[in-house]
């Protein structure tokens, strides 16, 4: 890095910015797919909806929370909007976790190569 080149943005700001962008995109796509699914429940739309639900469902399953959610939904204690909110929050948590891990790994790699004077600096 030279004296006149701008300093890189702080890692936390970069991680949060990327996570917010991914989260907004995920939620916008989910809202669009759910809206289309309600008015035009074609096989392709249902497939995309299931694909969007796969990640949060898997995370909830690993945490042991999917079955209690399913039981609450089937018993009528949890409505569809509540279920969507749980899945959406789970997806956002995964996105922020992945963004944080990726940011930390990137910072470590940058620090490793910067300390050695690698050509990537």
Predicted TM-score (pTM) of this structure:
0.72
Backbone angles phi, psi at 117, to 5 degrees: 70, 35
Q: What is d(CA 80, CA 70) in angstroms, rounded to the nearest whole number?
A: 11
3-state secondary structure string across the chain: CCCCCCCCCCHHHHHHHHHHHHHHHHHHHHHHHHHHHHHCCCHHHHHHHHHHHHHHHHHHHHCCCHHHHHHHHHHCCCCHHHHHHHHHHHHHHHHHHHHHHHHHHHHHHHHHHHHHCCCCC
The 10s digit of each residue's pLDDT in 9-47 is: 677 787 788 888 888 888 899 889 989 988 988 999 999
Average pLDDT value for residue range 50-74: 94
Q: Domains of the chain: which residue ranges?
A: 11-115
């Amino acid at each position: 890095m030279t004296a006149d080149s701008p300093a890189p943005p702080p890692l936390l700001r970069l991680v949060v910015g990327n996570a917010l962008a991914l989260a907004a995109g995920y939620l916008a796509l989910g809202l669009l797919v759910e809206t289309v699914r309600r008015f035009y429940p074609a096989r392709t739309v249902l497939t995309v909806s299931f694909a969007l639900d796969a990640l949060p469902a898997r995370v909830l399953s690993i945490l042991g929370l999917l079955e209690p959610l399913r039981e609450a939904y089937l018993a009528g204690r949890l409505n569809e909007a509540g279920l969507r909110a749980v899945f959406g929050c789970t997806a956002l948590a995964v996105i922020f976790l992945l963004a944080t891990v990726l940011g930390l790994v990137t910072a470590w790699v940058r620090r490793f190569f910067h300390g050695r004077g690698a050509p990537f600096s």
